């Protein structure tokens, strides 16, 4: 079978249909372009996200199937619910986005690499400054020990990455995010790539065409970007939130 090439992007109008994505590697659509706010917003609305290593060109992906988490389907095991009710972690929103993305960028293994390279960190910190990106942070005795970051558009939260330095910290951040999104009538959290950790929390795979069809509905109306209140997560009463 002849190999296929992907297009090089020079202009926003060059974004191809995600249906043209390669099967191997799964979901690779195009290369080139920029990580400016305009490019990122246009990409997400098309079901694309950037993912590449240091020294490589910007690569745009839309895997099939797509891992998503519907907020009302988040799975909270009994032990985690106990942690939530005990308020072991102090959970805040948007108080230290640069620290969260830097922690997410740290290699998981001593000799490992990261796709959240300095250019990606700078791009998403800029989105945070503009009010487009958000972070959920877990602290223990004042120390940042877990969290996540991503971007909401319309009724979709595009999750980018999460980290945990203490048991359950990233899970607590994700559960808080799901609960917050439920109160805001969000439809879905885009988890991008499939992982066992996210599947254990209730995420599931759906076909790419189903995801993109949903995007058209979920992003039909987009609110102006703004910073979320820092104490937003603290308002959740986990004794009453039995439906989460």
Residues 143 and 33 in one domain: no
What does the pLDDT look like over 171-216, one tens digit per residue?
999 999 999 999 999 999 999 989 999 999 999 999 999 999 999 9
Mean pLDDT, the chain, rounded, equals 92
Residues 35 and 75 in one domain: no
Question: Is pLDDT at 36 greater than 70 in this prediction?
Answer: yes
Residues 82 and 35 in one domain: no
Mean pLDDT of 69-91: 95
Residues 28 and 101 in one domain: no
Mean pLDDT of 32-44: 97
Whether residue 28 is contained in a domain is answered as yes
Residues 158 and 204 in one domain: yes
User: What percent of the chain clears pLDDT 90, i.e. is strictly above it?
Assistant: 84
Residues 32 and 128 in one domain: no
Q: What is the CATH number of the domain that holds 186?
A: 3.40.630.70
Into how many domains does the chain fold? Answer: 2
Mean pLDDT of 151-174: 97
Residues 80 and 188 in one domain: yes
For strands 188-192 and 66-69, give the pairing: antiparallel
Q: 112 pLDDT band (50/70/90 cuts)?
A: low
For strands 59-61 and 28-32, give the pairing: antiparallel
Whether residue 243 is contained in a domain is answered as no
Region class of 106: left (phi > 0), else alpha (psi between -120 and 50), else beta: beta
Question: Is pLDDT at 61 greater than 50 in this prediction?
Answer: yes
Residues 137 and 167 in one domain: yes
Residues 105 and 198 in one domain: yes
Whether residue 165 is contained in a domain is answered as yes
Question: Is pLDDT at 3 greater than 90 in this prediction?
Answer: no
Mean pLDDT of 56-63: 97
Whether residue 117 is contained in a domain is answered as yes
Q: Structural domain of residue 80, as residue ranges?
A: 67-234
What does the pLDDT look like over 133-156, one tens digit per residue?
999 999 999 999 999 999 999 999
Whether residue 239 is contained in a domain is answered as no
The single-letter DSSP state of residue 109 is S
Look at residues 45, 64, 83 and tell me which one is the last residue of a structural domain.
Answer: 64
Look at residues 64, 84, 103 and tell me which one is the last residue of a structural domain.
Answer: 64
Q: What is the CATH number of the domain that holds 35?
A: 3.30.70.3550
Residue 240 confidence (pLDDT): 54
Please state the pTM of the whole predicted model.
0.93
Residue 243 confidence (pLDDT): 42
Whether residue 242 is contained in a domain is answered as no
For strands 8-9 and 28-32, give the pairing: parallel
Residues 139 and 214 in one domain: yes
Whether residue 4 is contained in a domain is answered as no
Residues 107 and 33 in one domain: no
Q: 113 pLDDT band (50/70/90 cuts)?
A: low
Specify the long-range contacts of residues 113-121, CB closer than 8 Å, at least 24 apart: 113/53, 113/54, 115/51, 115/52, 115/53, 116/161, 117/52, 117/53, 117/54, 119/35, 120/35, 120/50
Whether residue 40 is contained in a domain is answered as yes
Mean pLDDT of 119-132: 97
Residues 92 and 197 in one domain: yes
Residue 109 confidence (pLDDT): 62
């Amino acid at each position: 079978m002849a190999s296929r090439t992907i297009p090089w992007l020079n202009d926003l109008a060059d974004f191809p249909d995600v249906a043209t994505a390669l099967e191997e590697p799964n979901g690779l659509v195009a290369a080139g372009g920029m990580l400016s706010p305009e490019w990122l917003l246009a990409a997400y609305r098309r079901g694309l996200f950037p993912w590449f290593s240091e020294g490589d060109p910007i690569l745009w992906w839309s895997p099939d199937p797509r891992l998503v988490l519907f907020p009302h389907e988040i799975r909270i095991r009994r032990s985690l619910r106990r942690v939530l009710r005990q308020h072991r972690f102090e959970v805040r929103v948007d108080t230290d986005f640069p620290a969260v993305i830097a922690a997410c960028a740290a290699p998981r293994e001593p000799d490992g690499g990261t796709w959240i390279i300095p250019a990606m960190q700078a791009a998403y910190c800029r989105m945070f400054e503009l009010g487009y990106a958000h972070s959920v942070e877990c602290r223990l005795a004042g120390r940042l020990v877990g969290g996540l970051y991503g971007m909401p558009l319309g009724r979709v939260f595009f999750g980018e990455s999460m980290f945990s330095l203490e048991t359950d910290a990233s899970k607590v951040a994700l559960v808080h995010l799901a609960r917050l999104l439920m109160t805001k009538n969000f439809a879905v959290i885009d988890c991008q790539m499939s992982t066992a950790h996210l599947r254990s929390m209730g995420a599931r795979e759906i076909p790419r065409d189903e995801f993109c069809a949903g995007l058209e509905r979920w992003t039909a109306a987009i609110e102006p970007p703004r910073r979320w209140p820092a104490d937003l997560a603290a308002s959740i009463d986990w004794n009453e939130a039995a439906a989460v």
